[in-house]
Amino acid sequence: MLDYTRMKKLFALMMVVAGGALACSGDDPVSPEQRLAGRYNAATWTITGLDETIDMLAKGSHIWIELRADGTTDGEFYTPEGAAPEPAERRVSLAGIWTLGPGEVVSFEMEGDTFVRFVEWQSGAGRLENEFTIGQYTTRTVLRR
């Protein structure tokens, strides 16, 4: 004779397993473009030379960039006069396009001449970040959404 309670438990277990299998199959309903879309502001921006570290944000500089789900960007890169190592004030548009590559790496194409377009940005947990060295200077930047 079949135990009705046991059958209910077995059926419930089968439904959970089937639901899990369906949830793991197919495409992610949220595209990478939608997942990463948003406005990112510099939370860390430092330049380290041979004998000092310059906090560019403390010097009045800023970077903000908006990643749109359609693959376009808007934003601004700003350094005031006297912010090292750039002596003159710079205000540069970050309008352009962005792409997501393997390893969750974001790349930018834009006309604005800044390091933003020349480095790869690692994405994750509501942030974009990079670190690179040119000559004697190492720049570390973290943008947070």
Count of structural domains, the chain: 1
Q: Report which of 121, 138, 137 is spatially closest to residue 129, judged by C-alpha positions.
A: 121
Task: Write out pLDDT tens, residues 24-71.
Answer: 445 557 787 889 999 999 999 999 998 999 999 999 999 999 999 999
Evaluate whether residue 3 is within a structural domain.
Answer: no
Evaluate whether residue 114 is within a structural domain.
Answer: yes
End-to-end CA distance of the chain: 60
Evaluate whether residue 137 is within a structural domain.
Answer: yes
* Residue-number span of the structural domain to which 74 is assigned: 32-144
More confident of the two residues 8 and 56: 56
DSSP code for 49: -
Evaluate whether residue 24 is within a structural domain.
Answer: no
Evaluate whether residue 102 is within a structural domain.
Answer: yes
Evaluate whether residue 15 is within a structural domain.
Answer: no
Task: Write out pLDDT tens, residues 114-144.
Answer: 999 999 999 998 999 999 999 999 999 999 9
Question: How many residues in total does the chain contain?
Answer: 145
Evaluate whether residue 22 is within a structural domain.
Answer: no
- Residue 101 has phi, psi (to 5 degrees) of -110, -175
Distance CA 37, CA 49 (A): 33
Residue 69: give its domain's CATH number: 2.40.128
DSSP code for 114: S
Confidence at residue 6, expressed as pLDDT on a 0 to 100 scale? 59
Statement: residue 100 has pLDDT above 90: yes
Q: Report which of 108, 41, 118, 34 is spatially closest to residue 77, judged by C-alpha positions.
A: 41
Statement: residue 7 has pLDDT above 80: no
Confidence at residue 64, expressed as pLDDT on a 0 to 100 scale? 98
Evaluate whether residue 128 is within a structural domain.
Answer: yes
Alpha helices in the chain (DSSP H): 4-24, 32-36
Statement: residue 4 has pLDDT above 90: no
